[in-house]
Amino acid sequence: MQSVFTAKHGLQAQQQRLDIIASNIANVGVTGYKSQSTGFKDALYTQMVNPADTGSPANLKQGSGVQIASAYRDFSAGTPQETGQPMDLYIEGDGFLPYKTAAAKFYTRAAARSRYRRRPAGGIW
Q: Is residue 17 scored above 70 in pLDDT?
A: yes
Tell me: do 6 and 58 sit in the same domain: yes
What pLDDT band is residue 75 in, cutting at 50, 70 and 90?
confident
Tell me: do 7 and 59 sit in the same domain: yes
Q: Is the pTM of this model over 0.85?
A: no
Report the number of distinct structural domains present in the chain: 2
Chain Cα centroid distance, residue 105: 22
Amino acid letter at 65?
Answer: G
Domain membership of residue 69 as a residue range: 1-74
Stretch 41-70: mean pLDDT, rounded? Answer: 68
* Domain annotation covers residue 125: no
What pLDDT band is residue 25 in, cutting at 50, 70 and 90?
very high
DSSP H or E stretch at residue 61: strand 60-63
Tell me: do 11 and 67 sit in the same domain: yes
CA-wise closest residue to 110 among 40, 46, 32 = 32
The CA distance from 88 to 96, in Å, is: 14
Tell me: do 30 and 83 sit in the same domain: no
Stretch 110-116: mean pLDDT, rounded? Answer: 60
Amino acid letter at 125?
Answer: W
Tell me: do 70 and 85 sit in the same domain: no
The CA distance from 55 to 58, in Å, is: 10
